[in-house]
Each structure stands twice: as C-alpha cells, then as structure tokens.
Amino acid sequence: KAGVTQTPRYLIKTRGQQVTLSCSPISGHRSVSWYQQTPGQGLQFLFEYFSETQRNKGNFPGRFSGRQFSNSRSEMNVSTLELGDSALYLCASSPGSPDTQYFGPGTRLTVL
Amino acid sequence: GDSVTQMEGPVTLSEEAFLTINCTYTATGYPSLFWYVQYPGEGLQLLLKATKADDKGSNKGFEATYRKETTSFHLEKGSVQVSDSAVYFCALSEGSGGSNYKLTFGKGTLLTVNP
C-alpha cells in the first residue's frame, strides 16, 4: 500500500500571502490529522478530519483552516502568512479513531 | 491537559551500547502510548506502541513497557547501530469515538550513534 503523500514538499512564500497544502491518506484511511513542527514549539496538533467533518482542533488562530474531501484527501490553508508560520507541516492518516496514525514526509514551508 | 516529558538530548553513544530514553506522561484517562522516530529530512515513522498498562511494544530491537504506576514508557535497545541515529519522540493519544483524539508529543531526543 502506498503511504501518506504530501504536496508540495517545499514551499517558499512571503509575509501576507496565503498557502494551501495537500495530503493524500493511505487508501482506506478515513481520518486525517495535521501537525506543525518547529524547533521552538516541537510538534503541535492543528486539526483532525473524519468523513469530511472537523472533529478536533488545536490551539491555533483562525488563519489556519482545513477541509477534507469525499475521497478522504485533505487540504490545509494558511492565510496572511507570518514569519512564525515557517515550519514543517505533517499530515497523518489512520483507519478510524482512535487508531494508530501514520505520517507523511511533510511539507517544509518557509515564510520570508 | 495531557503532556509528555522525555529526557533532554542530545544523546551520543558508541555502536553496540545500551540505549535508554526516558518518557513520562500526564493524562486524565487511559491513553495509548507511542514511540515515533524521525530521520533527517523525513516525516515520523511509528516505531512501537502500547495500548494498555503492562503492554510491551517492540520493533527492530527497540522495546518499551507501559507502566501505569509510574506513568512511564521508557524506550530501550540492547545494542544500538549507526543507522539508529535519529530523533525519537514519545507520544500519547487519548479519547474514543473521535472525541479529543489527537497525539500529544514530547520534545524529542536526538540520538547519535558513532562507529
């Protein structure tokens, strides 16, 4: 089975722009979660989707949003980018909930 | 809220040395516990997990036992290899039926194994 895929792998944006990241889960997995990884804050939970519904959200501002499609693929969007949004964004999928999460390689976002 | 505390790194060992990375947790219920590993430039890979007290997770020579009485899940390996060099994360998840289901991670421990 193919693993979790994330596109693009690398992005460079400037402050004030917006960005959309994409995640394709493992086939058959219905739950998709997003995490932000930074050297200072470590790994922090952003949100989780199951069957197109956001079920849980971390402590991030409203500039961070996401959605899930009927085929379980997910996107996250960050509007009005700030320098502090520079991070590795990781997507994880699982068959259901609660269940083990499997991670993709991440998207490295750099905000200049 | 839930939290995970793992030993500060970096940890530097010689090949074939014994490895222990300490991990303790705070949770209100009965969490599942995980160790993930991250190699340079990559995402997280599940190393092992345990879902209830006294369970032992094991994989690739690594082991960890879920100790409810000490709220710990220490990672051990009897003989490390250069290829084990990576960052190791302890994590917990809590919740059922999708409510409050998320992973809470420790800060990570960088392991370097020298030949």
**A chain contacts of residue B42, beta-carbon cutoff 8 Å:** 105-106
Predicted pLDDT of residue B9: 84
How do residues B19-59 score in pLDDT, each as one tens digit? 999 999 998 888 899 999 999 888 999 999 998 899 999 99
Q: Has residue B96 got a pLDDT over 70?
A: no
Report CA dihedral (B64, B81, B85, B55) to the nearest 10 degrees.
Answer: -10
Predicted pLDDT of residue A1: 72
Predicted pLDDT of residue B62: 98
Q: Could you tell me if B108 lies within 8 Å of chain A, comparing CB atoms?
A: yes
Kindly determine whether residue A48 and residue B102, on different chains, have CB atoms separated by under 8 Å.
Answer: yes
How do residues A52-93 score in pLDDT, each as one tens digit? 999 889 999 999 999 999 999 999 999 999 999 999 999 999
Closest by CA position to A49, among listed A100, A18, A93, A87: A93
Q: Count the neighbouring beta carbons within 10 Å of the beta carbon of residue B111.
A: 21
Q: Has residue A30 got a pLDDT over 80?
A: yes
Average pLDDT, chain B: 92
**CA distances (Å), origin A94, targets A66, A80, A106, B17, B108:** 17, 30, 16, 35, 22
Q: What is the average pLDDT across A33-42?
A: 94
Q: Could you tell me if A100 lies within 8 Å of chain B, comparing CB atoms?
A: yes
Average pLDDT, chain A: 93
3-state secondary structure A47-98: EEEECCEEEEECCCCCCEEEEECCCCCEEEEECCCCHHHCEEEEEEEECCCC
Confidence at A98, pLDDT banded by 50, 70, 90: low
